[in-house]
Amino acid sequence: MRALVTGGAGFIGSHLCERLLEIGYDVVCVDNFLTGSPGNIAHLVENRRFELIGCDLIRGVEVEGPVDAVLHFASPASPADYLRHPLATLRVGAEGTRHALELAAAKGARLVLASTSESYGDPQVHPQPESYWGNVNPVGPRSCYDESKRYAEALTAAYRRSRGTDAGIVRIFNTFGPRMRPGDGRVVPTLIRQALEGSPMTVTGDGSQSRSLCYIDDLVDGVLRMLKASIGGPVNLGNPHEVTMLELAQWIRRLTGSRSEIVLVPLPTDDPQRRRPDIALAAAELGWQPRTPVEDGLLRTIAWFVERVEDAGLPTMVPAPASPSDRAESAVAER
């Protein structure tokens, strides 16, 4: 079996490439390194079953030989990235998705589109089921990402209906873990970096807005289950464990042993107030649910960040293992 992963040098894409190799696939990684990192796949390049194609999916991609699976994960995904590259974000959602679908159709491959919980916008239904159509500002600063993914979903559904392309859609909620860039603007790496540096930990708004955090290993498992399925979706993949941003900052500060001050900063335009997936469909159709406790995932992610900083020879605070009393305290946040 041979799989092609677009955006394969990104955070999620690189973990997908790694897991696919582990379960026996030959892997073709496609990336233009706009936001992906060569370091994410450096440990894979010597593997004879791994191939890297450096190209911009907006202009298309040519692959010789058979392809059994296409996992379309190419897109800037953090607010800092897609606000910096709005046109590229829109184009990879539109033209890039079309090229990925054409390749899957030509090769007779199963395609899985990585969509996003951002397709729900600032939801008025909570938690969010796949049947909810969303509340998106189509002309706001975040719309380049929201609407690119909504269009990609529409295009994928149209290929499935009109051409019989074997394609499925997953809507990915907040995911975290090793290989996130410290400065990519997403909340978990930002708070970890600030805590380890001892600098102020910034929380937007009044900190009451919530997110649901899923560890990368669980997310990858859900994507691979979708790959093996035949359903079109969309299917939510995320952890129903909901936490406010103020609680998350306090949690990370405790796990790192940091003494950083938590400070409030202005809320970004169109920032969603609440976000939590309804994963009943994933459980029923894929037999999937997240298994990694959020605290365990945070500790693994913090350890990875500490190792990266130490490799660079920079001073950092070393996280202490959580004590039983700390874990009992964190159970409040987990509820």
* Separation CA 309–CA 188 (nearest Å): 16
Size (the chain), residues: 335
Encoding tokens for residue 214? 């899923």
The answer to whether the CB of 142 falls within 8 A of the CB of 79 is yes
The SS3 of residue 61 is coil
Q: Give strand ranges (E) for 86-241.
A: 110-116, 167-172, 175-176, 201-204, 210-212, 214-215, 235-237
The SS3 of residue 188 is helix
Residues belonging to the active site: 145
How large is the C-alpha radius of gyration of the chain?
Answer: 19
The count of C-alpha atoms lying within 13 angstroms of the C-alpha of 5, restricted to the half-sphere facing its C-beta, is 29
Encoding tokens for residue 47? 């593997």
Q: Which helix (H) or strand (E) holds 106?
A: helix 97-107
* Separation CA 271–CA 260 (nearest Å): 24
Name 262's bridge partners: 201
Q: Which helix (H) or strand (E) holds 330?
A: helix 324-334
